[in-house]
């Protein structure tokens, strides 16, 4: 299997990618859900980092000076991705993340870990972007940290849904900030791989689920 196919299988086995009847934060009724909060073991963290590292290495084999994980979910993602990049590809990139509340004692400040410098090229590591709020907050944060170039955003799944405009939320971020955005997998890749293809003997996407996902994308999708 490719690393993308392995990642889809990994999400299913981890209980992160599930199918049924769900309501998103925006109120949309969806037949599938991605809950990255269900990653909870060291083995899962290590493998998750491997998939992010593979995506980073495939799309940006150079030109990055540090990884940034927005608090809170982005923090373990940036750490595990940095570890995997070093272990698998020999790339020893520093990582950093932000505090929700600025620290007014000790070394102070909002950043933990590496302190970004003027001219640094930064890759942001996120889980699943819905409205893009955390990414927009990150872009604003860096205005007060250093004159960095936010080079790219890496996410686990692109739901390929419309944001506040006709295009997807990820395309909005591409347009608004001029950054590259790379998902490990897209919902289309999930459908293509899992349709009538069992994981541990169970078919997750049969004809019924596929039809519902296609209907959902027809209503809310942004190709």
pLDDT tens-digit series, residues 105-162: 445 568 899 999 999 999 999 998 877 888 898 999 999 899 999 999 999 999 998 8
Q: What is the DSSP string of the chain?
A: --HHHHHHHHHHHTT-EEEEEEE-TTS-EEEEEE-GGG--SHHHHHHHHHHHHHHHHHH-SS---EEEE-TTTHHHHHHHHHHHHHHHH-----EEEEEEEEE-STT-EEEEES---TT-EEEEE-S--SS-HHHHHHHHHHTTT---EEEEEEEEEE--BB-SSSSBHHHHHHHHH--EEEEEEEHHHHHHHHBT--BTTB-SB-HHHHHHHHHHHHHHB--
pLDDT of residue 151: 94
pLDDT of residue 100: 73
- The tally of CA atoms less than 13 A away on the side-chain side of residue 187 is 26
Q: Where are the domains positioned within the chain?
A: 3-220
Q: Are 209 and 21 in contact (CB under 8 A)?
A: no
Which of the residues 40, 100, 105, 202 is marked catalytic?
Answer: 105
pLDDT of residue 223: 62
pLDDT tens-digit series, residues 146-205: 999 999 999 999 999 888 788 888 899 999 999 999 999 999 999 999 999 999 999 999
Which of the residues 103, 144, 151, 202 is marked catalytic?
Answer: 103
pLDDT of residue 58: 97
The mean of the pLDDT values for the chain is 92
Instruction: Report the topology of domain 3-220.
Output: Rossmann fold (3.40.50)
Tell me, yes or no, if 105 is annotated catalytic.
yes
Tell me, yes or no, if 144 is annotated catalytic.
no
Please report which confidence band the pLDDT of residue 27 belongs to, taking 50, 70 and 90 as the band edges: confident
* Least confident piece of the model among 10-14, 50-54, 134-138: 134-138
Please report which confidence band the pLDDT of residue 64 belongs to, taking 50, 70 and 90 as the band edges: very high
């Amino acid at each position: 299997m490719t690393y993308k196919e392995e990642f889809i299988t990994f999400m299913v086995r981890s209980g992160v990618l599930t199918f049924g009847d769900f309501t998103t934060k925006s109120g949309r009724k969806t037949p599938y859900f991605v809950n990255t909060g269900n990653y909870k073991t060291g083995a899962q963290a290590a493998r998750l980092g491997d998939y992010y590292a593979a995506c980073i290495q495939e799309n940006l084999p150079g030109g990055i000076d540090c990884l940034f994980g927005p608090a809170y979910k982005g923090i373990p993602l940036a750490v595990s991705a940095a570890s995997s990049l070093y272990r698998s590809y020999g790339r020893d990139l520093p990582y950093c993340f932000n505090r929700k509340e600025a620290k007014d004692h000790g070394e102070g400040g909002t950043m933990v870990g590496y302190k970004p410098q003027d001219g640094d090229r930064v890759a942001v590591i996120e889980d699943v972007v819905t409205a893009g709020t955390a990414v927009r907050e990150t872009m604003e944060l860096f205005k007060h940290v250093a004159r960095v170039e936010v080079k790219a955003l890496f996410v686990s799944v692109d739901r390929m849904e419309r944001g506040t405009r006709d295009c997807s939320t990820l395309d909005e971020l591409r347009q608004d900030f001029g950054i590259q955005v790379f998902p490990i997998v897209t919902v289309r890749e999930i459908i293509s791989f899992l349709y009538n293809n069992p994981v541990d003997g169970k078919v997750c996407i049969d004809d019924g689920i596929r039809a519902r996902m296609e209907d959902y994308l027809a209503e809310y999708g942004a190709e």
